């Protein structure tokens, strides 16, 4: 395989197959590159596309979303590119300890994003909702924003249904104020330095 390697995420080996129709950056299907018991999910880019990475965010998130359905991926920053497989392996080796610690911490967890837009009486509603969701989640990130609430919550996958129901119940008591819930996402906001994901 020739061409630069675009890296979406690192995860543990998994048995489930990715969706056959899943396409990543430049329409290239994602491939699995195994090194020291870790898997990097990569696409081989045609040379002319290596410089057009500003168009890649949607494809990047589509591949990470596909992985989230079958495993716990650690999403890398959009635009993470290496010259070849050996470059990807060197990166995995240099960050192996970090990846393994993060996979232990985030295994079986997903991220849910919540926004409450500004309006009359929304501050009280947003505060009550955040306190309730923080009790349900293992961790959270609050963002500085013009919204009454903009936050991400780390939730065990098996508790996601209860988390969604809690948002729905709180929305029902909001007197017309409602929270916007998106997810489940990969742990974009909690895995160091990847920044906020598509739901933020």
Question: Per residue in 115-126, pLDDT tens?
Answer: 998 877 888 899
**Tens of pLDDT along 53-71?**
556 778 899 999 999 999 9
* Residue, of 54 and 170, whose pLDDT is higher: 170
For the beta carbon of residue 128, count every other beta carbon within 10 angstroms.
13
Three-state DSSP class for residue 149: strand
Q: Which domains does the chain have, with CATH numbers?
A: 5-105 (no CATH), 108-185 (3.30.70.260)
Three-state DSSP class for residue 99: helix
Question: What is the model's pTM?
Answer: 0.85
The pLDDT confidence band at residue 140, using thresholds 50, 70 and 90, is: very high
What is the 3-state composition of the chain as percent helix, strand, coil, each rounded to the nearest 5?
35, 25, 40
Could you give the CA distance from residue 134 to residue 124 in angstroms, rounded to a whole number?
15
């Amino acid at each position: 395989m020739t061409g630069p390697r675009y890296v979406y995420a690192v995860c543990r080996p998994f048995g489930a197959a990715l969706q056959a129709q899943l396409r990543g950056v430049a329409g290239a299907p994602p491939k699995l590159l195994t090194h020291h018991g870790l898997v990097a999910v990569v696409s081989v880019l045609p040379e002319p596309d290596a410089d057009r990475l500003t168009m890649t965010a949607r494809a990047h998130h589509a591949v990470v979303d596909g992985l989230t359905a079958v495993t716990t991926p650690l999403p890398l920053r959009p635009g993470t590119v290496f010259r070849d497989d050996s470059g990807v392996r060197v990166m995995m080796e240099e960050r192996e300890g970090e990846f393994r610690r993060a996979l232990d911490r985030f295994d079986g967890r997903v991220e849910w994003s919540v926004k409450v837009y500004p309006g009359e009486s929304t501050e009280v509603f947003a505060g009550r909702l955040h306190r309730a969701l923080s009790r349900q989640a293992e961790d959270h990130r609050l963002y500085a924003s013009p919204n009454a609430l903009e936050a991400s919550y780390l939730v065990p996958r098996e508790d996601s249904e209860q988390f969604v129901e809690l948002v729905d119940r709180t929305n029902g008591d909001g007197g017309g104020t409602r929270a916007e819930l998106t997810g489940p996402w990969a742990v974009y906001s909690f895995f160091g330095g990847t920044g906020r994901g598509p739901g933020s």
